[in-house]
A and B are shown apart, each in its own frame.
Chain A
């Protein structure tokens, strides 16, 4: 019997040793002299070419510098460009700052920009971000509807000299300088060495930004970038950043809680808990140019009466849902684009975006009520369950409609059903703008050639005309787009829900985190505690 107990104790001891014995070899990454940060990142798409990446914006904005930059106030600044000018808003002249170099030492020239944009736009390259260049003349030649492209250069791009080139657009667009800003990575320049082997370039892109990558992308391994000494723009406040990829955002958050990360995004499932997990000064909530909506199946007659759509909107208690699900971090929508957009017509939705269950029920009654069950569709597994269940509850309680929320298996199923108009009820709809202009959201969702098919509800020719007018007359202040939203308010095609926020937690090493105009923190401007 004693032998047995010894065996049991020995096993336990063995495990305990394995657990604690190695603990001494733990983290030692807090060197005093190097100003270094370790941040959590999404698992990157396995190609970091700026024309292809879609989820490592923080890294992109550190390794590359955009032509223009929109700050948190919505003001436009010039970074790699000295100026972006046009007389007619069709042909734009971009003048680069002189003496800028890529991390490999070669000068950044107008030719590099033109070559890079052509490579991103070329249909046969199949780069994910190529759509950002779609309004340049010649884009369609590189992306023909049938067959192979006959050219690999967009005719709308002309090099004037080493530092000047012109861009001709298919139609007048006042927002072009805004489109060149930080998150539209398709507009980033690549050095000539990239074009020899784009696949190799994508593993370790050479940029023109304040930090230069020192490691190559390897599946599941951290990426490291260090200060680029010859950078001509605003110097980085940190010397070195390590991006640790996490396939689950919750794990990154937990790792930040354990003190292993200096910066991590807060996953939606922790929005309510974050204030008890972290000190207040280590939590940051940035307004983002993203917004979600309740899409309306305009192919279903039951929703054709505007009063039905307005009643649904008024029956949703956005404030209560915001508190209960997002910990108050998001913002109830009052317009069809997020409030962070320059010149946003806040409140244009009026009383129809305010919670009023009695008025909602009366309005629905007036419209003749609602027949049958109402199923709200949303993509499953993306953290939207609570939101759409809450909305279904509101509609049941306040309007007496038999409403249920139904998740799809994943994006693929949901996307196809929406594109083919087979959804039989209201649905998840969202646009995350990559440049802070109302134009982005309005164009992507409500124009007659939307990027997001069927997202914005029935199309109205008025919207198209008003959008074109605003593109022509508008300025960077964005007020011209208010007119488009007035038309949306009159037609009420879909129900605005929430302006999104991007939320972050930091370690005590970070004194201050500043946001840019797209809701992402500016990593190279982080103020460290020991400053």
Chain B
């Protein structure tokens, strides 16, 4: 178990250095000059641009810039943006918001897709089964911004149930609508998986035995099938939590939520190298750590995995 964990953590370090370097290069190799672009169509005076380039080390070769960045990183300094804000402060302000949003979306995905999967799986081939499949697929094929803007009009303007923008109203009111939309895009996959798993479990030997024992169907489904069928789904759901964090970009923009997704989007647009690297690396780290945690949990749940 410990060797397993140590190996995974070592992998983390390698991936971390690789990812920061690749992202760093990618941002700095983008066409155009971020300082020139700071002023948009009203360019900054030449002397101001020159000063900013010096200040942020943009006049140095890219390897030197990366070494400087890594040097700062080991001292716990994630650098500053071209407008002088601390990157770590920016992230500290925004991660809680994005994590709240992603967790809310994740819980909604779990609740809805497990219920949908159970219903569909237990009534395999019925009208309900088919409409669950069709419904989730249709929902998933609507572009996310169309869904977002439509939901704003319906729930925010017509019904006035939820706020449209910002998180001023706090959790859950301000988070429920954006989270629900993010959740919808995970439903099709997870509910299908749950459905398959339920069907398999219903046909397994132990369920037949339970039935033979004369146990009520309610108890079979509620106590035994749900728990066993959920095992493979847990894996997928946990991995999804990682990708949910990265998948909030569009939703955060539509709902004016100041989260990491929006920060990353703006940073890429403005070619804010240090900010992009900081955010992207944290995203990758979270994804990797979630995977390690999932592996550990699975190995605890299923001793067979631990034996390798």
Q: Which residues of A contact B (CB under 8 A)?
A: 1-4, 7-8, 11, 14-15, 18-20, 22-23, 25-26, 45-47, 54, 123-128, 130-131, 134, 143-145, 199, 219-220, 244, 246-248, 250-252, 254-255, 257-258, 260, 381, 408-417, 419, 430-432, 451-453
Cβ contact of A415, chosen from B43, B55, B118, B173, cutoff 8 A = B43
Closest to A202 in B: B84
C-alpha gap A143/B30 in the complex (Å): 29
The smallest C-beta distance from A148 to any residue of chain B, in angstroms, reads: 10
Q: Are B122 and A247 in contact (CB under 8 A)?
A: no
Contacts of A410 in B (CB 8 A): 32, 37, 269, 271
> Interface 1/0s, chain B 146-157, versus A by CB < 8 A?
000100110111
Instruction: From known contacts A430-B41, A452-B41, infer whether A416 and B32 are also in contact, taking CB-CB under 8 Å.
Output: yes
What's the Cα separation between A112 and B139 when bound, in Å? 61
B153 to A: closest C-beta gap in Å: 8
Q: Report chain A residues within 8 Å CB of B36.
A: 412, 415-416, 419
Contact A452/B258 with A219-B90, A248-B253, A416-B36 known, Cβ cut-off 8 Å: no
| Interface SS majority for chain B | helix
Chain B 26-37 near chain A by CB (<8 Å), digits 1 or 0: 000011111011
CB pair B45 A15 closer than 8 Å: no
CB neighbours of B164 from chain A (8 A): 251, 254-255, 258, 260
Q: Are A22 and B173 in contact (CB under 8 A)?
A: yes
Cβ A257 vs Cβ B48 within 8 A: no
Contact B37 A411 (CB under 8 A): yes
Instruction: Give chain B nearest CB distance to A457 CB in angstroms.
Output: 16
A413 x B42 contact (CB < 8 A): no
- Residues of chain A with a CB closer than 8 A to B162's CB: 19, 23
Cβ contact within 8 Å between A258 and B111: no
- A251 and B51: CB pair below 8 A? no
Find out whether the CB atom of B157 lies under 8 angstroms from the CB atom of A451.
no
Residue numbers of B with Cβ under 8 A of A are: 30-34, 36-48, 50-52, 55, 83-85, 90, 93-94, 108, 111-112, 115, 118-119, 122, 149, 152-153, 155-157, 160-166, 169, 172-173, 176-177, 180, 217-218, 221-222, 253-256, 258, 262, 266, 269, 271
Q: Bound state CA distance, A408 and B271, in angstroms?
A: 14
Query: Across the interface, do B155 and A19 meet the contact criterion of CB distance under 8 Å?
Result: yes
CB < 8 Å neighbour of A18 from B45, B157, B172: B172
Query: B residues within 8 A CB of A130?
Result: 45, 47-48
> Which residues on A sit within 8 Å (CB–CB) of B47?
123, 130, 143-145
Complex CA distance for A20 and B177, rounded to whole angstroms: 11
The docked-state distance in angstroms from the alpha carbon of A220 to that of B111 is: 31
> Which of these, A25, A134, A451, contacts B43 with CB under 8 Å?
A451
> Are A220 and B115 interface neighbours, CB within 8 A?
no
Q: Does the CB pair A415–B84 fall under 8 Å? A: no
Distance, CA A11 to CA B173, complexed state (A): 17
Contacts of B122 in A (CB 8 A): 1, 4
Q: How far is the CB of A248 from chain B (nearest CB, A)?
A: 5
Contact of A11 with B112 at beta-carbon distance under 8 Å, contacts A1-B217, A251-B164, A251-B256 already known: yes
Most buried by B among A144, A248, A251, A417: A251
> Which residues of A are found within 8 Å of B262, using beta-carbon distances?
247
**Contacting pair B221 A128 (CB below 8 A):** no
Contact B83 A47 (CB under 8 A): yes
Q: Which of B32, B172, B256 contacts A413 (CB 8 A)?
A: B32
Contacts of A3 in B (CB 8 A): 218, 221-222
Residues of A within 8 A of B83 (CB): 45-47
User: A4-B119, A19-B176 given. 19 additional CB < 8 A pairs?
Assistant: A1-B217, A15-B108, A18-B173, A19-B177, A26-B160, A123-B47, A143-B46, A145-B47, A251-B253, A251-B256, A254-B157, A254-B164, A255-B256, A258-B163, A410-B37, A419-B36, A431-B41, A432-B42, A452-B41
CB pair A252 B165 closer than 8 Å: yes
**Chain A residues near B52 (CB-CB < 8 A):** 126
| A11, A127, A244, A412: most-surrounded residue (chain B CB, <10 A) | A412
Within the complex, the shortest CB–CB distance from A137 to chain B, in Å, comes to 16
CB contacts (< 8 Å) of B255 on chain A: these are: 251
Task: Give the residue name and chain of the B residue nearest to A43 (CB).
Answer: B266
Distance between Cα atoms of A130 and B160 in the complex (Å): 46
Min Cβ gap A216→B in Å is 14
Q: Which 5 A-B pairs have the closest CB atoms?
A: A412-B32, A220-B258, A143-B47, A412-B37, A413-B32
B157 in complex: contacting residue of A220, A252, A258, CB < 8 Å = A258
Contacts of B258 in A (CB 8 A): 219-220, 247
Given contacts A7-B115, A126-B52, contact A131 B173 (CB under 8 A): no
Using known A-B contacts A23-B160, A251-B254, determine if residue A46 contacts B84 with beta carbons closer than 8 Å. Answer: yes
Closest to B36 in A: A415
A247 engages B266 (CB within 8 Å): yes
Residues of the B chain whose Cβ atoms lie less than 8 Å from the Cβ of A414? 32
Q: Is the CB of A247 within 8 A of B39?
A: no
Query: Which residues of B lie under 8 Å from residue A22 when comparing CB positions?
Result: 169, 172-173
Q: Which residues of B contact A219 (CB under 8 A)?
A: 85, 90, 93-94, 258
Tell me the nearest residue of chain A to B175, going by C-beta: A18
B221 to chain A, nearest CB (A): 7
Nearest chain-B residue to A430 (Cβ)?
B41
Q: Is A11 within 8 A of B111, CB to CB? A: yes
Q: Which residues of B contact A45 (CB under 8 A)?
A: 83
- Quick one: which of A123, A246, A413 contacts B51, CB cutoff 8 A? A123
Cβ contact of A244, chosen from B55, B166, B180, B217, cutoff 8 A: B166
A254 and B176 in contact (CB under 8 A), knowing A123-B48, A409-B30, A410-B37?
no
| CA distance in complex: A193, B210 (Å) | 80
Question: Bound state CA distance, A408 and B32, in angstroms?
Answer: 10
Contact A127 B48 (CB under 8 A): yes
With both chains docked as a complex, state the minimum distance between the C-beta of B54 and any C-beta of chain A, in angstroms.
9
Inter-subunit contact A254/B30 (CB<8 Å): no
Within the complex, the shortest CB–CB distance from A26 to chain B, in Å, comes to 8
Inter-chain contact B218/A8, CB cutoff 8 Å: no
By the criterion CB–CB under 8 Å, are B90 and A126 in contact? no
Give which listed residue, A26, A47, A257, A451, contacts B84 with CB less than 8 A: A47
CB-based contact B271/A412 at 8 Å: yes
Cα separation A15 to B271 with both chains bound (whole Å):
40
Q: Which residues of chain B have C-beta atoms less than 8 A from A47's C-beta?
A: 83-84
User: For the complex, what is the distance from the CA of A41 to the CA of B66, rounded to whole Å?
Assistant: 36
Known A15-B176, A47-B83, A143-B45: A258·B254 in contact at CB below 8 Å: no
Instruction: For the complex, give the distance between the alpha carbons of A25 and B162 in Å.
Output: 11
Q: Which of B31, B218, B256 contacts A246 (CB 8 A)?
A: B256
Listed by A's residue number, 8 A-B pairs whose Cβ atoms lie within 8 Å are A4-B119, A11-B112, A143-B47, A255-B164, A260-B165, A408-B31, A409-B30, A416-B32
Q: Which of chain B's residues have a CB closer than 8 A to the CB of A409?
A: 30-32
Known contacts A19-B162, A411-B32, A412-B34: A131-B217 contact under CB 8 Å: no
- For B173, the closest partner residue in chain A by CB is A22
Chain B residues positioned under 8 Å from A417 (CB to CB) = 31-32
Q: With the chains together, A419 CA to B176 CA distance in Å? A: 47
B81 nearest CB neighbor, chain A only: A46
B38 partner residues in chain A, CB cutoff 8 A? 128
Determine if A381 and B32 form an interchain contact, defined as CB atoms under 8 angstroms apart: no
Instruction: Known A18-B176, A254-B152; judge A452-B37 contact (CB<8 A).
Output: no
Determine which residue in A23, A220, A417 has the highest number of CB atoms from chain B within 10 A of its CB, and name it: A220
Across-interface contacts of B33 in A (CB, < 8 A):
412, 415-416
Q: In the complex, which of the residues A4, A250, A413, A414 has the most CB atoms of chain B within 10 Å of its own CB atom? A: A4
Min C-beta distance of B174 to chain A, whole Å: 9
